[in-house]
Structure 1
Amino acid sequence: MRRIAPLAGVLALLLSAAAQAADPHLARNLAATCANCHGTDGRSAGGMAVLAGEPKDKLLASLKAFRSGDKPATIMHQISKGYTDEQLDLIAGYFAAIKPAGGAK
C-alpha cells in the first residue's frame, strides 16, 4: 500500500503535464484570477502580497495552507478551495517564473 501514494503523485504530475501540453496557456489562465488582488502577473502595487518571483514551493505551501484553513485569510481560503492540487501547482509555478517588478529576482 505504501507504493500507492508515490504512484499517485507521479500520475498527478503526468496529468498536469498533459493538461499543460494540451493548453500551453493553462497556468497563465488559471493565474489570471489572482490579478484582481495581487496585480497583473503577481506584481502587486501594494496592499497585497507580491507573487511574482516567489519560490514555487513557498507559494504552493501558502495556497495549500489557505485551502486547508491552516493559514488565516479573508477570501483566499474560499478561492483556493476551487482549485485542484495540480492547478495550484501550475499557478505557483507560473508566478515563480515571473520576474518581480524591477527584476530583483
Structure 2
Amino acid sequence: MDLQSSRFRNETLPADSTRLRLLPVAAVLAASLTAAAPALAQPALQDIAVAAATCFNCHGTDGRASSFIPSIAGQPEHFLLQRMQDFKAGQAPHVTVMTRLMKGYSDAELQGLAKYFSEVPR
C-alpha cells in the first residue's frame, strides 16, 4: 500500500504510533540476530578441512612436512594459534608467504585451523 494515499493521509494517528508499533518487531529482530551471531562466527568443520587442505601444499599431507618447512601436525593448539596470529599481524620476521596468507583468514578460522592441526597425530 502507498503511505501517501488518501486513506493514510486522512488517518488521525498520533505521530509516534507507527514507531511504537514497530518497536517490538525491531526488538525481536535485533535479539534474533544477536543470538545467531556466535553461531555464524564459527566456521563449519568442513570449511576448516577445506582451508586446512591449502596448508598441505607446503606443510605436507595432514601437516606432516618432509622438507625444511616445519610440520604443523600435532603441535599444541595454543602454539599454532599464536604463530598464525603473529603471521597475520606481520610480527614474524623472515617470513614471506605466511604473512600474506594469514591475512586472508578470520580469527575464528585461525582458531579452527589451530584446533584441526593440533588434533592430527604427528
TM-score, normalised relative to structure 1: 0.74
Q: CA RMSD in A?
A: 1.6
What is the count of residue pairs matched by the alignment? 85
Q: Secondary structure of the equivalent of 1:71?
A: coil
Map of 1:54-73 to 2, 5 A cutoff?
54-72=75-93, 73=95
Q: 1:33 & 1:80 partners in 2: Cα distance?
A: 12
Equivalent residue, structure 2, for 1:95: 117
* Regions of 4+ moved over 2 Å: 11-15
Alignment of 1:77 onto 2:103: no
Q: Which amino acid aligns with 2:41?
A: L
Tell me: CA distance 1:39–1:15, structure 2 relative to 1, closer, same or farther (3 Å). Answer: same
Q: Secondary structure of the equivalent of 2:75?
A: coil
Alignment of 1:29 onto 2:55: no
The alignment-based identity, stated in percent, is: 36
Q: Could you tell me how far 1:56 is from its partner in structure 2?
A: 0.6
Candidates 50, 53, 65, aligned match of 2:74: 53
RCO greater where, 1 or 2, for CA within 8 Å and sep 6 or more?
1
Q: Could you tell me how far 1:98 is from its partner in structure 2?
A: 0.2
- Structure 2, unmatched stretches of 5+, are 1-36
Q: 1:81 & 1:13 partners in 2: Cα distance?
A: 22
Please tell me whether Structure 1 or Structure 2 has the larger radius of gyration of its CA atoms. 2
TM-score, normalised relative to structure 2: 0.64
- Structure 1, unmatched stretches of 5+, are 1-10, 101-105
Equivalent residue, structure 1, for 2:41: 15
